[in-house]
Amino acid sequence: MAKNTINKKNEEPLEKQLWKTADKLRKNIDAAEYKHIVLGLIFLKYISDAFEEQYASLKADEANGADPEDKDEYKAENIFFVPQDARWIHLQSKAKLPDIGRYVDDAMDAIEKENSSLKGVLPKVFARQNLDPTSLGELIDLVGNIALGDVKSRSADVLGHVFEYFLGEFALAEGKKGGQFYTPRSVVELLVELLEPYKGRVYDPCCGSGGMFVHSEKFVLEHQGRINDISIYGQESNQTTWRLAKMNLAIRGIDSSQVKWNNEGSFLNDAHKDLKADYIIANPPFNDSDWSGDLLRTDGRWKYGTPSSSNANFAWIQHFIYHLSPNGKAAFVIANSSLASENKIENEIRAKIINQDIIECIVSIPGKLFYSTPIPVCIWLLDRNKIKNTNGRKGKILFIDASRLGKQLTRTSNSLTKDDIDRITSIYRNWKKSDENYKDLPGFCKTIDIENVANNDYILFPAKYLDIDHYAEVVSVDKIKENMAKQWNLYNQAIIETNSSIKDIENLFLKPQLQFPLPLETKKFKLSEILEKSNERLGSNEEPEILTCTENAGLIFQKDRFSKRIATDNTSKYMVVRKSDIVYNPYLLWAGAIDQCWIVDIGITSPAYEVLRVKKGFNPTLIGTLLKSDLLKKMYDGISIGTIQRRRRAPVERFLDLEVVLPTMKEQEKLNVLSEKVQIEIKNLRNSENKLQNFYKELNNYWLNGSYDSQ
């Protein structure tokens, strides 16, 4: 039996074996943070391998004047120069040391200094306290064993494949958040096969981790094209995701100099304003209501009408059209609500685009393909020169309903198969060539005149024109409203019960004013015995959330407000806030003076505030409840100084000198056990509440989505 198990394990693809092994080393680090650790190491291994191959070649040619330490020798071959202390063999020799994290961070710094195109790209997260150095060393050894063999092939192919596979697995692990940086591979492959980007400028204004570019270049190579015939242009508003894209492209040897980042995004700060692209390929956020539309009412990109400020779908579509060259083509995924809407503005914009005769094809694809949402979506295919590029298809649109294709991977996720992709693309290509190559297929594809579409209120749902039964369900508003009412009642009742359960648990654990539910041994403590001031400052390698104190909310996120300033400021002056830390503001009254940071792994706050850390042995939940109790409020008021209310303050030294009554350390150890159980239960209940809230949001857009899944 054991032998069969081993053989079965060895038959697994390399990337799956690596994922399972690496995932075991994750321990208490969540996927969002761990992906930067793993992907950073894979990237480091890649550039080190490529460097070592070139180094060996130059070393062998020293007699002819080659210099293996000349940086220009590597730059000429599009290879990153790797300093000696950053090379993989050096790091692997340090893998068993307790400070291995520092060595890796230093290596990332050194590589960035030697290669300007990588400045600000590489992760420096390896020396963090929550990353066990032993596990990190094991991970380095694991990555070091990837595809031993020919250096060139393992650098360009195997490591690139592993990087892409890990991106997908991390996106799956992060669920909805994963959709922000990763488009599922089958969707990307379908878009690329439909678009056929052979030669010219390829543009993605919401490029995520760069998958569209990677597969565009693969397409060129697989069809005997020349890789240098295409150039890529991209933009990403999330800096962390942009860094993933830069690494993903670098590991493939793809020039990413025109892949730009700014935190305002393509709408507010278009990084390629003058670009007219030959190909646009994209997966923009679906039904985005927070796109700053009110600030762009008179923008020149809105050729067909000003898009709704509550939904960015037609802002994206017009942005794509604006950036197309006269012969440009576009393929993009977008929400089904773009196909029909109750919004008059959106209907008018869609009608104008249809009448312009630049839409070639609309494809309905299955639901549950994306990590960010289970809803079915569609693909638009545009051609600015459709009359010339599509034989005899003037005034016609091809509709394909592929919503029933795909295979189920899990209960909540599907994927398109290679046969699915081939079927869709062959129909589209044949349709573009001539009538002899294409035939309508009942229930699957059909050519429709624009005049017919206009007579049907410019609705673009393929099911509308394919004479199939499920269209009635797609647009049955009355049925949807009836289901919505039923589900809302269930949702509302579940939320009430969840909140009630959470309150009961919290009251059972600790009541206000520290009236413990059980008789406990108590002792007087000074707050200075419980809390210590933290002097931890933000390092240049850290990427925190931006926090500040307010009078009514304690800690709040202020990312948009401060991110520009932080980018140019001396970050070392900001105070680091970690889980369970206490943020103390001596300049505010009680309501906002103290709060506890449960919500982020790391944040930063103003240097005007004090960060207090709970000493070892004390229960953070217990201390947090104490600090927000009515008892402490009265004590705080007693130490405040200042005659004018707005200038009253309580210096931290006076605060730490206060005495409180707490259970003895022995009793606190018992409470720690109870606390862990309580926090787990509260977390489970909160997760249930979040799922219900997300479910209701999906229901709220139900009739726009094109299908309903009771699961």
Is residue 252's pLDDT more than 70?
yes
Long-range contacts of 129-137 (CB under 8 A, 24+ apart): 130/28, 130/29, 130/601, 131/29, 131/37, 131/101, 132/27, 133/97, 133/98, 133/99, 133/100, 133/101, 135/25, 135/27, 136/25, 136/37, 136/95, 136/100, 136/101, 136/104, 137/95, 137/96, 137/97, 137/100
Counted residue by residue, the chain has a size of 711
Q: Residue 472, class by beta-carbon neighbours within 10 Å (0-12 exposed, 13-18 middle, 19+ buried)?
A: exposed
Is residue 68's pLDDT more than 70?
yes
Q: Please tell me the least confidently modeled range out of 28-32, 378-382, 510-514, 633-637.
A: 510-514
For residue 105, give the DSSP letter: H
Task: Give residue 147's pLDDT.
Answer: 56
**Cβ contact 209:245 at 8 Å:** yes
Is residue 593's pLDDT more than 50?
no
Is residue 223's pLDDT more than 70?
no
Q: Please tell me the least confidently modeled range out of 287-291, 570-574, 663-667, 700-704.
A: 700-704
Is residue 702's pLDDT more than 50?
no
**Cβ contact 202:231 at 8 Å:** yes
pLDDT band per the 50, 70, 90 thresholds, residue 548:
low
User: Which is more confident, 120 or 703?
Assistant: 120
pLDDT band per the 50, 70, 90 thresholds, residue 65:
confident
The Cα 224–Cα 240 span in angstroms is 34
Give the mean pLDDT of 553-581: 57
Is residue 513's pLDDT more than 50?
no
User: Which is more confident, 481 or 628?
Assistant: 628
For residue 580, give the DSSP letter: T
Q: Please tell me the least confidently modeled range out of 244-248, 355-359, 550-554.
A: 550-554
CA-to-CA dists, residue 56 to 80, 90, 284, 433, 627, angstroms:
15, 16, 44, 51, 62
Which range of 55-69, 252-266, 296-310, 560-574 scores highest in mean pLDDT? It is 296-310
Which range of 131-145, 193-207, 654-668 scores highest in mean pLDDT? It is 193-207
Give the mean pLDDT of 340-359: 91
The Cα 690–Cα 694 span in angstroms is 6
Task: Give residue 318's pLDDT.
Answer: 96
Give the mean pLDDT of 67-73: 87
Give the mean pLDDT of 45-73: 87
pLDDT band per the 50, 70, 90 thresholds, residue 415:
confident
Task: Give residue 515's pLDDT.
Answer: 41
Q: Please tell me the least confidently modeled range out of 74-83, 177-186, 326-335, 525-534.
A: 177-186
**Cβ contact 374:709 at 8 Å:** yes
Q: Please tell me the least confidently modeled range out of 126-130, 361-365, 633-637.
A: 633-637
**Cβ contact 289:333 at 8 Å:** no
User: Which is more confident, 478 or 648?
Assistant: 648
Mean pLDDT of the chain: 76
Task: Give residue 292's pLDDT.
Answer: 87
Task: Give residue 355's pLDDT.
Answer: 95
Is residue 217's pLDDT more than 70?
yes
State which amino acid sits at residue 528: S
Task: Give residue 294's pLDDT.
Answer: 87
pLDDT band per the 50, 70, 90 thresholds, residue 228:
confident
The Cα 598–Cα 324 span in angstroms is 46
Give the mean pLDDT of 492-520: 52
The Cα 111–Cα 44 span in angstroms is 9
Is residue 488's pLDDT more than 70?
no
Is residue 568's pLDDT more than 60?
no
Q: What percent of the chain has pLDDT over 90?
A: 23
pTM over 0.85: no
Task: Give residue 14's pLDDT.
Answer: 64
**Cβ contact 319:687 at 8 Å:** no
Task: Give residue 91's pLDDT.
Answer: 92
pLDDT band per the 50, 70, 90 thresholds, residue 238:
confident
pLDDT band per the 50, 70, 90 thresholds, residue 551:
very low
Q: Please tell me the least confidently modeled range out of 157-171, 299-313, 588-602.
A: 588-602
Is residue 328's pLDDT more than 70?
yes
Is residue 555's pLDDT more than 80?
no
Give residue-wise pLDDT tens across range 625-639: 677 666 676 776 667
Is residue 449's pLDDT more than 90?
yes
Q: Tokens for 411, please give them.
A: 């209960």
pLDDT band per the 50, 70, 90 thresholds, residue 463:
confident
pLDDT band per the 50, 70, 90 thresholds, residue 253:
confident
Task: Give residue 346's pLDDT.
Answer: 92
Q: Please tell me the least confidently modeled range out of 94-98, 669-673, 697-701.
A: 697-701
